């Protein structure tokens, strides 16, 4: 190669282009990055979420917050297990070899996990706001039975929102006539993408934007109330919940933003290069939550003397009470409100 040689990013090219320029196979690079992300997601997500389900669901005393966390972990565990077919496809095939059923099944659980996770995070944020603003009502109505019923409702709603992606996901001939598994809507009128745009709109609006606004509003209201009281702002449970919300939107945000760009210009280089990576990062969210619990449960003073179960127990079993005392003076009267949110 000459000193003035340059690199060219091209899909599926030979190693050397014309005029001494080196061509880089960008598709191969993207595939290798995705293989690494998928492998990490499956290995860490499967083991980590299984530990969370065991600890929060069976080993610890049940409480409302752990009901939310167990359901989050179940959704993530199912998602990680269904990513195995995607990893095998990336490793050994350049086409979709598993048929129509697994194509639809994988798509259904992919979006089912996304909707279920974000809806649960929205429910958690409303739960926090209720605890702070209506402690008496929360103490009376906030029960394990209610939490389990709400969780069941979340699963049902997530399934309903995911159903269109099961219906419209197809195996069809792609590049070089190789089979491809994706959402492919055949409209009656050529060039009419109404259904496809509707699916994109549902995914962005109901799976990202509206839950984000609900969560932002609820935590803003809770924060406003906390500033007026002497509730602890440094409790581990509150930090864990805020971390879960931040992790979800940081992981899924780029994916949804690039999908919006794809709706406008599907041939954009940013979409071709960025969307596969954004998809891998979004999938990675399914193994992030157990890592957050682990980090929050570590006690640096004990260093290497901590067991894995002990770390998770410390993160998940800590008293999830938010204890708030508020003094109000009126005609010489002072009273205290104790808020318990478990």
Report the pLDDT averaged over residues 255-259.
Answer: 90
Let me know: does 56 contact 313? Beta carbons within 8 Å. no
Which band of pLDDT confidence, cut at 50, 70 and 90, is reported for residue 63?
A: confident
**105: CATH:** 1.20.1070.10
In terms of C-beta density within 10 A (0-12 exposed, 13-18 middle, 19 or more buried), how is residue 154 classed? buried
Residue 22 lies in a domain: no
User: What's residue 153's pLDDT?
Assistant: 97
Task: Tell whether the model's pLDDT for residue 40 goes beyond 90.
Answer: yes
- Residue of higher predicted confidence among 25 and 292: 292
Residue 324 lies in a domain: no
DSSP assignment of 32-91 equals: HHHHHHHHHHHHHHHHHHHHHHHIIIIIS---HHHHHHHHHHHHHHHHHHHHHHHHHHHH
Q: Which residues contact 197 (CB under 8 A, 6 or more apart)?
A: 263
User: What's residue 310's pLDDT?
Assistant: 63
Report the pLDDT averaged over residues 23-31.
Answer: 71
* Cα gap 64→131, rounded to integer Å: 12
pLDDT digits (tens, 9 = 90+) for 301-330: 555 555 656 666 666 665 444 444 443 433
Task: Tell whether the model's pLDDT for residue 7 goes beyond 60.
Answer: no
User: What's residue 232's pLDDT?
Assistant: 52
Residue 91 lies in a domain: yes
* Cα gap 216→237, rounded to integer Å: 18
Highest mean pLDDT among 182-191, 280-289, 328-337: 280-289
User: What's residue 270's pLDDT?
Assistant: 80
User: What's residue 136's pLDDT?
Assistant: 80
User: What's residue 64's pLDDT?
Assistant: 87
Residue 322 lies in a domain: no
Scanning the structure block, which residue is given the tokens 């195995």? 84
Quote the number of domains for the chain: 1
pLDDT digits (tens, 9 = 90+) for 109-139: 989 999 999 999 999 889 888 888 887 877 8
Highest mean pLDDT among 178-182, 265-269, 332-336: 178-182
Residue 35 lies in a domain: yes
Report the pLDDT averaged over residues 54-70.
Answer: 86
By mean pLDDT, which of 63-72, 190-199, 263-272 is the weakest? 190-199
Considering the chain, what percentage of its residues have pLDDT values greater than 70?
73
User: What's residue 191's pLDDT?
Assistant: 56
Residue 16 lies in a domain: no
Q: Quote the mean pLDDT of the chain.
A: 78
* Cα gap 83→45, rounded to integer Å: 10
Residue 45 lies in a domain: yes
Scanning the structure block, which residue is given the tokens 């060219």? 8
User: What's residue 265's pLDDT?
Assistant: 82
Query: Which residue, among 5, 79, 94, 13, has the nearest Cα to 45 in the 3D structure?
Result: 79
Main-chain dihedrals φ then ψ at residue 95, nearest 5 degrees: -145, 170
Task: Tell whether the model's pLDDT for residue 338 goes beyond 50.
Answer: no
Rg (CA), the chain: 24
Which band of pLDDT confidence, cut at 50, 70 and 90, is reported for residue 6?
A: very low
Domain that residue 137 falls in: 28-317
DSSP assignment of 79-91 equals: HHHHHHHHHHHHH
By mean pLDDT, which of 16-20, 169-173, 178-182, 256-260 is the weakest? 16-20
User: What's residue 335's pLDDT?
Assistant: 35
With the C-alpha atoms ordered 284, 285, 287, 293, is the resulting torsion angle positive or negative?
A: positive
User: What's residue 235's pLDDT?
Assistant: 60
* Cα gap 106→84, rounded to integer Å: 10
Residue 106 lies in a domain: yes
pLDDT digits (tens, 9 = 90+) for 157-209: 999 999 998 988 888 887 778 888 887 655 444 556 778 788 888 899 999 99
Which band of pLDDT confidence, cut at 50, 70 and 90, is reported for residue 269?
A: confident
Task: Tell whether the model's pLDDT for residue 20 goes beyond 60.
Answer: no
């Amino acid at each position: 190669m000459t000193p003035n040689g340059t690199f060219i990013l091209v899909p599926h090219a030979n190693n050397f282009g014309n005029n001494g320029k080196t061509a880089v196979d960008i598709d191969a690079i993207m595939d290798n990055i995705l293989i690494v992300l998928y492998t990490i997601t499956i290995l860490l997500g499967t083991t980590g979420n299984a530990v969370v389900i065991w600890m929060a669901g069976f080993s610890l005393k049940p409480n409302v917050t752990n009901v939310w966390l167990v359901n989050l972990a179940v959704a993530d565990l199912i998602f990680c297990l269904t990513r195995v077919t995607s990893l095998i496809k990336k490793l050994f095939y350049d086409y979709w070899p598993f048929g129509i059923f697994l194509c639809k099944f994988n798509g259904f659980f992919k979006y089912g996990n996304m909707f279920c996770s974000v809806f649960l995070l929205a429910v958690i944020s409303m739960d926090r706001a209720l605890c702070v603003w209506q402690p008496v009502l929360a103490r009376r109505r906030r029960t394990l039975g209610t939490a389990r019923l709400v969780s069941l409702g979340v699963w049902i709603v997530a399934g309903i929102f995911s159903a269109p992606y099961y219906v419209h996901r197809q195996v069809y001939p792609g590049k070089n006539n190789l089979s491809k598994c994706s959402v492919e809507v055949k409209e009656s009128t050529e060039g009419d993408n109404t259904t496809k745009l509707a699916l994109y709109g549902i995914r962005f609006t109901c799976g990202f934007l509206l839950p984000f606004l609900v969560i932002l509003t609820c935590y803003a209201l809770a924060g406003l109330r906390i500033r007026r009281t002497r509730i602890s702002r440094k409790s581990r449970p509150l930090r864990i919940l805020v971390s879960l919300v931040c992790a979800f939107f940081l992981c899924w945000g780029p994916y949804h933003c690039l999908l919006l760009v794809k709706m406008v210009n599907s041939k954009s280089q940013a979409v071709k290069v960025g969307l596969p990576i954004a998809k891998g990062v979004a999938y990675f969210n399914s193994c992030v939550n157990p890592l957050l619990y682990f980090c929050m449960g570590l006690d640096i003073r004990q260093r290497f003397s901590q067991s894995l179960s002990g770390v998770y127990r410390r993160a998940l079993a800590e008293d999830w009470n938010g204890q708030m005392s508020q003094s109000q003076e009126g005609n010489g009267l002072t009273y205290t409100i104790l808020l318990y949110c478990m």
